Chain A
């Protein structure tokens, strides 16, 4: 069997804070993505989902450091690559798009110029050929008048059009892995639907693997094959999309699902109160002892306050980090192993 396209193996990432301390923002994260798969990483702000995704491209700031683990792309550990080697991978084999498209667009160059740059950098196309390919790409991302967009500057485009232009740039080199960090969060639902449909179509055409980072369970329901739920820097649940929505196992996942006001709920059910999760996500430098969710959980028991539950198998292809789903008796050793990693 060949190695999966992307393997993140027990990755921990720390941030140095101003007062010289270090906080772990992503802890012991493992996940694999096969070719053509869409993996969604869901979580609230501060869950570590964006840091995890940016680490794949080694885009983390100066104050971040890898504490342990490997990120293997086609079997190669990206963490051992030199900056020069990385530059060859970035944008070519792995592309990333952000919530804010202006993060990827230079305001002083036309869209066409930037798109041609991206094309020239990663392929042999030059001059006229590059221009034609650029127009073709814009058409593929659903821009109806690509010639006029080519000559326009980014600020003349709407948010949805900018995001399309960024996607065009990202797919220019036919990447095998596309990381999308909240790509539709800043957009209207109508434009979000267009962009999500576009990503699906592009994937069907090219077999690109997508790692999609989002806080929106609706986006997950639309897009995901596999789902990773993160809370306070850790994976708390991992499952294929249908099983997760059928039966969320972790109280946090359950809470998120209940808290989501849905259009498809029955009219009567709508008059009930939304079940909210009390409190807020704890600060990473003030994490509670034991299970990180125990301060907000409705099912907290004594063991939850004492020791961190391990991410343990719960049925076929499912993992969950909760003492309720995987009772502490008999797996004490795993618990201590998980606890030591802090």
Chain B
């Protein structure tokens, strides 16, 4: 079963095997990178003779940025605030943000999972990591991995809720891109 609402793949010529295999391959790679839940619809267009590889996808609603209160419990203590870390994955990001905001001399880490800040300002709302930017980075990485390796000329257009990726062996001309976009639109409307 596909976790995506729509997953269409179109390959020119007599390449039914390649079509089936690329479906599995894209699923494997997106699953490996943990991206599959964030993609709603996916259209893949492959022209073997040209050769061109294009992917158009619609993203599911945006991911909110990660704040200090998402990674740990913030408590008011004497002389400042204490953060008890629950999610150590973003520890490095958290410390960097706190150092930038309060300065190194005001941030103390007495034990591994606790950070104490000598300040009266509540750090709860500070942004630790922009998960959406990270997701887009991972997505680009995933698309490069999916595309056949010889296709070294790539172009990636990303917006808030969609992305269009095209890769080819030959130079990417505006006409080629427009033609491919038209093909993808046809798939979308079919």
Do A and B come from the same complex? no
